[in-house]
């Protein structure tokens, strides 16, 4: 029997009230359609595992090859964009999201997939979250769907919402820079210059994570200040 | 059920409605209290200092102070709300004094700092499994199974306050469940009094004390899961970040 490609899910506000419905693509359906179109390769690479140092943000890249060509996509998962029951499985969720996005490109489906949503939804009968997801999950939990949290900055480039840099990330960046001897206003200016922003308010969590990683890679071990406290 | 931390338990006990605004509705706080930020900055510095010692290094005082300075600067990038007697500069000065005292008084090298734990909660007096996972970090562990919690405070806790210190009890409970021994406990109070000082107070818990703590955590976790959120009017309301939301609350 052919796998369904789409399903309708309830969209709820933060109080749990249903405010509408939304059609989403399903991983199983995307995968089946990709097979129909000559799927030959699915490769995933973990770009970043979720750790305390990076704000528990996992990032994966997926590469899908069908008869139409090769398609790549990135997927991320962090405590801000997954429902609570997925929290122990951030690495696998990032992988599933990357695959789902690459599959959508490969089979030319513009509708966002269920697996890419930033929370659970409220389907009547939930689909499998895909090979990278927690077995048997998805049936419970309140929806958050597509709306960014109210405290987030506007989406950049009209694209996916990026959660903002956390307070702990900001503090960690300043502590790392202190290890370089860059302190106070000089550190503040350094960060604004490196991140290309007028104020640190608009920096995303992912951008902060990348900068932390870059700074730590250059830093002598003994100068890594205040690790494990910047999620 | 999602793991629960002791800070969330304390937050719920202080005011269930505030807990809902902060952790369920995730309403951004319109401002941050300087006292909390100050405690975090001092903590960041002493944590780094102790981690360096565990790694076999001996950080010099200026290096530890620079961690505090950097963290305090970062905390102030977004405005903080200061108490009547405090300012950015006065707290910076007190923070440096406390960090210096801490470094000067440090003796034993700890065996662990900020050690994360996650434990399935059970009543230690009966063995009853409570269907709650407690998550947290042991601030500091010293040789001889001494579990230390370091806290900045404006005034010292009396004996009763230390005996009822929920964070220490919860950590002792977690330690008992993980290692099957009741640890010795110590509260290091970094007092930001006019003349900053550090007071180290030892305390102890019995298995019965910890059974009480386990049941309390269980009930709080159950209340959160059941959505029991209501205001707890107290003196804290005048400094609550969600006061306006609370006033608009009508039982939903």
Residue B169 clears pLDDT 90, i.e. is over it? yes
Rounded alpha-carbon distances, angstroms, from residue A51 to A46, A213, B204: 13, 11, 34
A184:B69 CB<8 A = yes
What per-residue confidence (pLDDT) applies to A22? 67
Between A126 and B43, name the one with better pLDDT: B43
Between B114 and A139, name the one with better pLDDT: B114
A175:B70 CB<8 A = yes
CA distance A173 to chain B (A): 8
Average pLDDT, integer, range A160-173? 88
Average pLDDT, integer, range B24-52? 94
Asked whether A125 and A138 are in contact (CB, 8 A), the reply is no
The residue assigned the tokens 């719920």 is B12
Between B117 and A49, name the one with better pLDDT: B117
Judge whether B59 lies within some domain: yes
What per-residue confidence (pLDDT) applies to A98? 78
Closest to B57 (Cα-Cα) out of A149, A39, A223, A1: A223
Give the whole-angstrom CA distance, residue A122 versus residue B43: 41
B28:A15 CB<8 A = no
Find chain A residues with C-beta within 8 A of B25's C-beta. Answer: 14-15
- B178 interfacial to chain A (CB closer than 8 Å): no
Judge whether B12 lies within some domain: no
Give the whole-angstrom CA distance, residue A171 versus residue A53: 12
Name the residue among A14, A15, A225 with its Cβ closest to that of B48.
A225
Closest to B166 (Cα-Cα) out of B146, B196, B136: B136
What per-residue confidence (pLDDT) applies to A224? 53
Q: Which residues of A184-197 are buried (b: 16+ CB within 10 A; e: fewer)?
A: eeebbebbeeebee
Minimum Cα–Cα distance from B46: chain A residue = A226
B74:A175 CB<8 A = yes
Instruction: Give B197's strand partners.
Output: B191
What is the span of the domain harbouring residue B194? Answer: 26-221
Supply the angle between the helices A184-195 and A167-179 in degrees, to the nearest 10.
110
Asked whether A165 and A212 are in contact (CB, 8 A), the reply is no
What per-residue confidence (pLDDT) applies to A127? 30
- B89 interfacial to chain A (CB closer than 8 Å): no
Find chain A residues with C-beta within 8 A of B71's C-beta. Answer: 171, 174-175, 226
Minimum Cα–Cα distance from B22: chain A residue = A151
| pLDDT tens-digit map of A65-77 | 888 788 877 777 7
Name the residue among B2, B66, B74 with its Cβ closest to that of A170.
B74
Q: Whole-number mean pLDDT of chain A?
A: 69
Between B69 and A143, name the one with better pLDDT: B69
CATH number at residue B113: 3.90.320.10
Find chain A residues with C-beta within 8 A of B28's C-beta. Answer: 150-151
Average pLDDT, integer, range A100-116? 76
What per-residue confidence (pLDDT) applies to B160? 93
| pLDDT tens-digit map of B137-148 | 999 999 999 999
Give the mutation candidate from B2, B73, B79 for the A interface (greatest A CB count, under 10 A): B73
What per-residue confidence (pLDDT) applies to A140? 29
Full strand arrangement of the beta sheet holding A58-66: A41-48, A58-66, A69-77
| pLDDT tens-digit map of B183-235 | 999 999 999 998 999 999 999 999 999 999 999 999 999 999 999 999 999 99
Judge whether B244 lies within some domain: no
B252:A15 CB<8 A = yes
pTM of the model: 0.65
Give the whole-angstrom CA distance, residue B240 versus residue B212: 29
pLDDT interval class at A46 (50, 70, 90): confident
Judge whether B229 lies within some domain: no
Judge whether B231 lies within some domain: no
What per-residue confidence (pLDDT) applies to A97? 83
B25:A14 CB<8 A = yes
Percentage, residues of chain B above pLDDT 70: 100
Residue A17 clears pLDDT 70, i.e. is over it? no
Instruction: Give A60's strand partners.
Output: A46, A75
Strands A69-77 and B184-191: unpaired
Find chain B residues with C-beta within 8 A of A229's C-beta. Answer: 43-44, 47, 114
CA distance A75 to chain B (A): 24
Judge whether B239 lies within some domain: no
Judge whether B100 lies within some domain: yes
Among A8-12, A174-178, B91-95, B203-207, the range scoring the smallest mean pLDDT is A8-12
| pLDDT tens-digit map of A195-211 | 999 999 889 999 999 99
CA distance A138 to chain B (A): 14
CA distance A217 to chain B (A): 18
Q: Can you list the positions of beta strands (E) in B63-215?
A: 80-81, 112-122, 129-142, 146-153, 184-191, 197-203
Contacts across the A-B interface (CB distance below 8 Å) = 74
What per-residue confidence (pLDDT) applies to A137? 32
How many domains does chain B contain in total? 1
| pLDDT tens-digit map of B126-135 | 999 999 999 9
What per-residue confidence (pLDDT) applies to B101? 97
Domains and CATH numbers, chain A: 6-128 (3.30.160.20), 167-230 (no CATH)
What per-residue confidence (pLDDT) applies to B156? 92
Name the residue among A188, A201, A225 with its Cβ closest to that of B67.
A225
Among A216-220, B6-10, B123-127, B163-167, the range scoring the smallest mean pLDDT is A216-220
Judge whether B1 lies within some domain: no
Q: What are phi and psi of A215, to 5 degrees?
A: -65, -40
Average pLDDT, integer, range B104-109? 92
Minimum Cα–Cα distance from B73: chain A residue = A184
User: Residue B243: which residues within 8 A CB-CB, separation 6 or more?
Assistant: B237
What per-residue confidence (pLDDT) applies to A10? 60
What per-residue confidence (pLDDT) applies to A129? 28
Percentage, residues of chain A above pLDDT 70: 57
Closest to B8 (Cα-Cα) out of B138, A136, B19: B19
């Amino acid at each position: 029997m052919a796998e369904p490609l789409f399903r309708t899910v309830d969209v709820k506000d933060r109080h749990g009230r249903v405010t509408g419905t939304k059609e989403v693509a399903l991983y199983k359906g995307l995968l089946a359609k990709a097979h129909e179109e000559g799927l030959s390769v699915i490769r995933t690479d973990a770009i970043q595992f979720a750790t305390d140092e990076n704000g528990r943000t996992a990032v994966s890249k997926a590469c899908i090859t069908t008869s139409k060509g090769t398609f790549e996509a990135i997927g991320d998962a962090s405590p801000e964009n997954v429902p609570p029951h997925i929290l122990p499985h951030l690495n696998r969720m990032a992988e599933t999201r990357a695959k789902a996005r690459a599959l959508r490109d490969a089979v030319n489906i513009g509708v966002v997939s269920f697996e890419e949503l930033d929370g659970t939804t409220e389907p009547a009968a939930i689909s499998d979250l895909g090979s990278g997801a927690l077995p048997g999950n998805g049936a419970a939990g309140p929806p958050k769907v597509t709306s960014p949290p109210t405290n987030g900055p506007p989406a950049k480039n009209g694209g996916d919402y990026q959660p903002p840099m956390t307070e702990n990330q900001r503090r960690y960046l300043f502590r790392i820079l202190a290890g370089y001897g860059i302190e106070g206003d000089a550190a503040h200016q350094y960060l604004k210059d490196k991140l290309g922003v007028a104020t640190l308010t608009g920096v995303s969590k992912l951008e902060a994570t990348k900068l932390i990683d870059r700074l730590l890679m250059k830093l002598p071990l003994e100068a890594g200040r205040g690790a494990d406290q910047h999620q | 059920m999602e793991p629960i931390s002791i800070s969330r338990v304390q937050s719920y006990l202080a005011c269930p409605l505030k807990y809902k605004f902060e952790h369920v509705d995730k309403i951004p706080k319109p401002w941050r209290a300087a006292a909390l930020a100050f405690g975090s900055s001092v903590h960041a510095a002493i944590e780094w200092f102790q981690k360096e010692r565990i790694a076999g290094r001996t950080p010099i005082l200026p290096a530890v102070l620079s961690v505090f300075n950097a963290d305090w600067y970062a905390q102030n990038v977004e405005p903080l709300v200061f108490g009547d007697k405090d300012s950015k500069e006065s707290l910076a000065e007190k923070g440096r004094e406390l960090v210096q005292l801490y470094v000067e008084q440090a003796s034993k090298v700890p065996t662990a700092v900020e050690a994360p734990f996650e434990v399935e909660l059970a009543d230690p007096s009966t063995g009853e499994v409570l269907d709650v996972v407690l998550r947290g970090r042991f601030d500091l562990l010293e040789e001889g199974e001494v579990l230390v919690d370091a806290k900045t405070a404006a005034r010292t806790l009396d004996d009763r306050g230390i005996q009822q210190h929920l964070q220490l009890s919860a950590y002792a409970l977690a330690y008992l469940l993980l290692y099957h021994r009741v640890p010795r406990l110590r509260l290091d109070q970094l007092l930001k009094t006019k003349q900053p000082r550090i007071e180290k107070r030892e305390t102890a818990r019995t298995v019965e004390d910890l059974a009480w703590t386990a049941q309390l955590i269980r009930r709080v976790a159950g209340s959160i899961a059941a959505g029991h959120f209501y205001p707890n009017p107290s003196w804290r309301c005048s400094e609550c970040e969600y006061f306006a939301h609370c006033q608009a609350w009508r039982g939903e």
